[in-house]
């Protein structure tokens, strides 16, 4: 008998566990609508041309495999900060923002959660209903209590008034997780005017906004997708931003992310940076190098960067085109639902009103794999 003898198996992850089940399915006509991974017309997830070229340059010039700094190489963190916030933004120029290299966007979220737990252990984390299935796991694992705020209305639209009413009541010092763009799983993003109201409400409450910015460039453009970030930043308070390059660089298996710390002034940012480095040191010590070097190489070269922007645009156009064809198919079949709301959605996901029984039937009878109650 050991300390693990009575341990019960844990339920599979809602998304990755479903993908394991999909891979084990031997039906030749099976279809996965589960994983948040871009695929091209041939059904493959390609390596971007700019990524291939950057990798070739890196391998040709590489002379060492020495550790990166705890927060990452400035050759990566500086251009990432400028991409996310804009190089000429007053908060950047004024030293209010520090960006750290993390193992993916999930790593950024966990570092932020651990930082909050260390500094303000009584703080709760507020998540939208619904949200990415891994959000609750990440912040619960950091030891933080969870709360929810409403997001999706019964009509399939953003329920902004109910959302704001709840956000107004969030206690000062709690954390509000907001999706920067391409809300996962609904695809419903606030308008520019709604973002201003959200930013003002969160600022008035005294809560700490944590922006999950995993899909920059997949909604409208790299710049336009940061409208929510800019609205929050304009309030002048402290905020965290978790970024990922899994999607817009198609670097899924390289685990490339960043956590940006925004303080009320440069001194507060420096203090938060020191504590964040302490959290990282006790976790993974240093970020992995290769994926970050790819991103840094592309962003540092004007010609390569311009080609990458075009590649992001092509992926975005294909996603939007697929959404248009999907909605047209629903309309042609006479399917019920708010088709106009579906067309206004952005990014890789939509949340369909299927329910668990229909999702199970799609999977078991037809080999169509859908997450939860209807995320595709």
Positions marked catalytic: 132, 212, 247
Helix H or strand E encompassing 257: strand 256-262
Per residue, what are the HEC states of 174-237? CEEEEECCCCCCCCCCCCHHHHHHHHHHHHHHCCEEEEEECCCCCCCCCCHHHHHHHHHHCCCC
List, as one string, the DSSP characters of 273-316: HHHHHHHHHTTTSS--SHHHHHHHHHHH-HHHHHHHHHHHHHHH
Tokens linked to 330: 């629903």
Q: For 52-63, b where at least 16 C-beta lie within 10 A, e where not — what string?
A: ebbbebeeeeee
Percent helix, strand, coil in the chain, to 5, is 45, 15, 40
Distance in angstroms (rounded) separating the CA atoms of residues 207 and 299:
33
Distance in angstroms (rounded) separating the CA atoms of residues 160 and 169:
14
Distance in angstroms (rounded) separating the CA atoms of residues 375 and 319:
15
């Amino acid at each position: 008998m050991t300390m693990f003898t009575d341990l019960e198996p844990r339920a599979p992850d809602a998304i990755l566990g479903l993908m394991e089940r999909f891979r084990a399915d031997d039906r030749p006509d099976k279809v996965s609508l589960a994983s948040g991974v871009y695929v091209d017309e041939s059904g493959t997830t390609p390596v971007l041309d700019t990524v291939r070229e950057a990798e070739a340059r890196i391998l040709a010039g590489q002379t060492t495999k020495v550790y990166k700094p705890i927060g990452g190489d400035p050759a990566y963190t500086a251009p990432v900060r400028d991409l996310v916030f804009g190089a000429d933004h007053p908060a950047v120029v004024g030293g209010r923002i520090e960006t750290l290299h993390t193992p993916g966007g999930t790593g950024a979220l966990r570092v932020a959660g651990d930082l909050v737990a260390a500094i303000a252990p009584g703080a709760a984390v507020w998540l939208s209903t619904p949200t990415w299935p891994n959000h609750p796991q990440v912040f619960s694992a950091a030891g933080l209590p969870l709360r929810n705020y409403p997001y999706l209305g019964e009509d399939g639209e953003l329920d902004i008034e109910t959302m704001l009413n709840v956000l107004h009541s969030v206690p000062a010092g709690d954390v509000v997780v907001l999706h920067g763009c391409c809300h996962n799983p609904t695809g419903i993003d606030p308008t520019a005017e709604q973002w201003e109201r959200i930013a003002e409400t969160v600022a008035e409450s005294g809560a700490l906004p944590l922006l999950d910015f995993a899909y920059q460039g997949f909604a409208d453009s790299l710049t336009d997708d940061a409208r929510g970030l800019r609205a929050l930043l304009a309030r002048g308070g402290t905020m965290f931003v978790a970024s990922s390059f899994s999607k817009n660089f198609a670097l899924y298996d390289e685990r490339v992310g960043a956590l940006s710390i925004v303080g009320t002034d440069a001194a507060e940012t420096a203090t938060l940076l020191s504590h964040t480095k302490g959290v990282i040191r006790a976790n993974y010590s240093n970020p992995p190098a290769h994926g970050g070097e790819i991103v840094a190489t592309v962003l540092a070269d004007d010609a390569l960067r311009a080609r990458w922007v075009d590649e992001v645009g092509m992926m975005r156009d294909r996603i939007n085109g697929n959404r248009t064809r999907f909605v047209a198919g629903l309309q042609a079949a006479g399917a019920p639902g708010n088709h106009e709301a579906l067309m206004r959605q952005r990014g890789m996901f939509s949340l369909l009103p299927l329910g668990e029984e229909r999702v199970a039937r799609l999977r078991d009878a037809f080999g169509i794999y859908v997450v939860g109650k209807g995320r595709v």
